[in-house]
A and B are shown apart, each in its own frame.
Chain A
Amino acid sequence: MNEGFFIENIWLIPGIPLFSFFIVGFLIRPFSRKAAGIAASSAIFISALIVYSVAWDYYQIFSQTGAYPVVIPWTVEWLHYQEDLSVYVGVLLDPTSLLLMIVVTTVSALVHLYSIGYMHGDDGYGRYFTYLNLFTFSMLGLVAAPNIMQMFVCWELVGVSSFLLIGFYYQKPSAVAASKKAFVVTRFADLGFLLGILILGYYGFLIFGEFDGVALSGIADQSRLQPFDFQFLNHPQVLAKFSEQGELFGGISLLTLAMVLIFAGAAGKSAMFPLHIWLPDAMEGPTPVSALIHAATMVVAGVYLVARLFPAFAASGTALLVVAYVGAFTCLFAALIGCTQDDIKRVLAFSTLSQLGYMMLALGVSTMASPLGYTASLFHLFTHAFFKALLFLCAGSVIHAVHSNEIWDMGGLARKMPVTHLTFLIATVAIAGLPPFSGFFSKDEILAAALGNQHPVIFLVGMLVAGMTAFYMFRIYFVTFWGHARSQGAEKAHESPPVMLVPLLILAVLAVVAGFVPMGSLISIGQASEHHGINWAIAIPAVLVALVGIGAAWLLYAGKPERVSALVRLWGNLYILVKHKFYVDELYLFLTHKVIFRFISRPIAWFDRHVVDGGVNLSGWSTRKFGAVLSLLQTGQVQSYGSWYVLSAAFFGLLLWMMFSGS
């Protein structure tokens, strides 16, 4: 097998951003802000080019055989626990990870470029690029992880960099609160992930021993296989052993428990209901960050995790059902809220939630036998990354011009910002799912997968949300770009600098053409899926629903605000309920403050303060008192010391004498 240079040196892909993180963070940043931005951006661009080259080589090598195996071109031992148990770090190469690497590096590179313009003049310019590099490194490490340990480490690193970037404007209390909220919520979810890893790791290690010397089919180099490796955990023989591990209470199998716990971690990162509350607040960060982290890359880490462990999820059907219904519910729930929000970034955030729900439900409805949903999910991930990043960057461009997040402060921007307007429109059409834009293809596949695998409820939810997506996206489009300027900022708005527009244009092109990538023949799992064309029986109704949504948005928001207020009056309390995001945040606050704090934390705090601290203080106090008493002996009078010495010497002499005379 003649591998290309970059496949052999694949560690460069995460390595360059890491290297750049250190260089920019420690060497360049203190001296030159401009150089920091350029160095950080060029590092990501180089990394992106390497990814493209690796992808090209990979498909060149395996296109003859027609099957795309998992390759691990590079590993190095990281933690050595015992003879047959170590943790490696390495890079795993298969179509799924390649897809994610392409998405991450491309979007990250464009966001870096965009940020050079957007963050211009900001105090934390160098710091910002340092964090972005750290994030990109962590995300690439996560995507490339060949085992669950590396994934968890990078998972947490991603969480940290997300925390740093959300709280980037750390003088703003709301940003600080948002970053804390994001960190605490995802960290709480990661607890589930960690527990799942522990269960998988423990039983995986037991099963690993049983396979000592037994060949596992389809794995080339079994000598370096470790129980944490995805290849091992996803192996059908291993999963068969796993399902023999017996049932827990209530008939839940061990595998289901582990997978549901892991899904909890994935749901935290991907902001699935009910752990979605951090994502809308995370919009406090700089807008390019929202584009990169909270739209295109980090939030899809959860989807990627489920995809990565898909055979294990599929082996436990219950866990997959949980994934599907949580995804579908989040999809609908977020779309509903998205229709009522006034902050442009928040609408986009809820739209992200909704689209992530699509990806999750697509994964949830597929099985190993008919894995169309798997392909569809990753396809949607791919297209969504581009048009959502584009939407955010356009929003950033608008916010940059208007200096406000409120859509009601904007209006009439179509003429003042033509490029932004055009690209925003492309992205909006793409997310609404109109042909021939990219969102159409992936959404069509998801709906086909849901219907094809007998999940009619989920299919209907998907259909409904397709219409709602079109509605709320065109709502903000009409309000922002049509009509007349509603504020001083909107009147004075002007187009952004070229360095910001170039990424917009590139992403716009990608948003248009990404749908034509033959994803079905590139990415699949289990049985090689039959090449799936466009299912017109589903596509036409979906497009019609989307058109209805657009029409509704045009009717309500293109110029006649009194229609909206009439509708709001009509719906009354329901509208307020949705506008306040179903009061989920308030529910959490109630739960934490009124229930957990009062009935659990306070007694614990009391116990800690009075009993634990009291014990500590007592020991300190008694030591001090004892020392004070002892220090009285320290008179400086040598003769006193001598007295004690003679007394004790005589005493020990007596002891010795009694011991030896006695025997």
Chain B
Amino acid sequence: MMEFLSGISPGIEHWLILSALLFSIGIYGVLVRKNAVGVLLSAELMLNAGILNFVIFNYFITPLIVDGELMALFLIAVAAAEAVVGMAIFVAIYKHKKTVDVTRLDTLKG
């Protein structure tokens, strides 16, 4: 058991596929969710997967410097900003249209 577990200890590919999977799930959410808040949540999921990628590459490829970690910090800050603006917009839209159903927000219709 232990040998098996240590034998499959995660390499960089495992980590990357994990992050890609999280990212893809985020994509699915962004494309499918009807509630705007849900879309935002999915977008946060994608962002997180991106951050995870930075950290992974920092750990595996350049372990002696901290630039990837720094990028992750910046990204967290940007994600916070994004969430704030997104939420503010949703609140404004909700006041205006009484809904945050993105399938009904189709002003872009040709």
A and B: direct contact (Cβ < 8 Å)?
yes
List B contacts of A635 (CB < 8 A). 106, 109-110
List, in ascending order, chain B residues with CB within 8 A of A631's CB. 110
Q: How many Å from the CB of B32 to the closest CB on chain A?
A: 7
* A-contact 0/1 string along B8-50, CB 8 Å cutoff: 0000000000000000000100111000000100000000000
In the complex, B5 has a CB within 8 A of chain A: no
Question: Please, which residues of chain A bring their CB within 8 A of the CB of B108?
Answer: 634, 636, 638, 641
State the Cβ distance, B102 to closest chain A Cβ, in Å.
6
Size category of the B interface is 10 to 19
Give 1 or 0 for each of A235-272: 1 = CB within 8 Å of chain B CB: 00000000000000000000000000000000000000
Closest to B109 in A: A636
Instruction: Give the size of the chain A interface in residues (CB under 8 angstroms).
Output: 11
B107 to chain A, nearest CB (A): 6
> Which of B30, B105, B110 has the most chain A CB atoms inside 10 A of its CB?
B110
A634 touches B103 (CB 8 A): no
Q: Which residues of A contact B32 (CB under 8 A)?
A: 639
> Interface SS of chain A: helix, strand, loop or mixed?
helix
Which of B's residues lie within 8 Å of A, judged by CB? 27, 30-32, 39, 102-103, 105-110
Q: Tell me, in angstroms, the Cα distance from A646 to B110 when the chains sit together.
A: 21
Contact call B31/A636, Cβ cutoff below 8 A? no
B103:A637 contact, CB within 8 angstroms: yes
0 or 1 for each of A46-84: is its CB under 8 Å from B? (1 = yes): 000000000000000000000000000000000000000
- Please state if B31 and A643 are interface contacts (CB–CB under 8 Å): yes
A642:B110 contact, CB within 8 angstroms: no
Please measure, in the bound complex, the distance between the C-alpha atom of A142 and the C-alpha atom of B85, giving whole angstroms: 77
**Measured CA separation A635–B110 after assembly (Å):** 6
Cα separation A639 to B103 with both chains bound (whole Å):
8
Cβ of A643: which chain B residues have Cβ within 8 Å of it? 31
Partner of A639, one of B31, B107, B109, B110: B31
Known contacts A637-B102, A643-B31; 16 additional CB pairs below 8 A are A631-B110, A634-B109, A635-B109, A635-B110, A636-B109, A636-B110, A637-B103, A637-B109, A638-B105, A638-B108, A639-B31, A639-B39, A639-B103, A642-B31, A646-B27, A646-B31
Query: What 6 A-B pairs come out closest when comparing CB atoms?
Result: A636-B109, A634-B110, A636-B106, A636-B108, A631-B110, A643-B31
| B39 / chain A contacts, CB cutoff of 8 Å | 639
Across-interface contacts of A637 in B (CB, < 8 A): 102-103, 106, 109
A631, A634, A636, A646 — most chain B CB neighbours (10 Å) = A636
Docked pose: A642 CA to B43 CA in angstroms: 12
Interface, chain A (partner B; CB < 8 A) = 631, 634-639, 641-643, 646
Q: How far is the CA of A636 from the CA of B27 in the complex (A)?
A: 19
Write the nearest CB–CB distance from B90 to chain A, whole angstroms.
14
Chain A residues with CB under 8 Å of B31's CB are 639, 642-643, 646
**Chain A residues with Cβ under 8 A from B102's Cβ?**
637-639
Q: Which chain A residues border B106 with CB–CB below 8 Å? A: 635-637
Complex Cα spacing A33 to B85, Å: 73
Nearest-neighbour CB distance to chain A for B88, whole angstroms, equals: 18
Residues of B within 8 A of A638 (CB): 102, 105, 108
Q: How far is the CA of A638 from the CA of B101 in the complex (A)?
A: 12
Partner of B30, one of A634, A636, A639: A639
A639: shortest Cβ distance to chain B, in Å?
A: 5
Subset of 24 A-B contacts with CB under 8 Å: A631-B110, A634-B108, A634-B110, A635-B109, A636-B106, A636-B107, A636-B109, A636-B110, A637-B102, A637-B103, A637-B106, A637-B109, A638-B102, A638-B105, A638-B108, A639-B30, A639-B31, A639-B39, A639-B102, A641-B108, A642-B30, A642-B31, A643-B31, A646-B27
Provide the bound-state CA to CA distance between A634 and B110, in Å. Answer: 5
In whole angstroms, how far apart are the Cα atoms of A458 and B35 in the complex? 102
How far apart are the CA atoms of A341 and B54 in the complex, in Å? 105
* Residue from A634, A635, A639 having most chain B Cβ neighbours under 10 A: A639
CA gap between A95 and B27 in the complex, in Å = 91
Q: Distance in Å from the Cβ of B11 to the closest Cβ of chain A?
A: 20
Please, which residues of chain B bring their CB within 8 A of the CB of A634? 108-110
> How far, in angstroms, from A636 to B105 measured CA to CA in the complex?
8
Chain B residue at smallest Cβ distance from A640: B31
- Chain B residues within 8 Å of A641, by CB: 108
List the A side residues contacting B30 at CB < 8 Å.
639, 642
- How far apart sit A636 and B101, CA to CA, in the bound complex (Å)? 13
B33's closest neighbor in chain A, by CB? A639
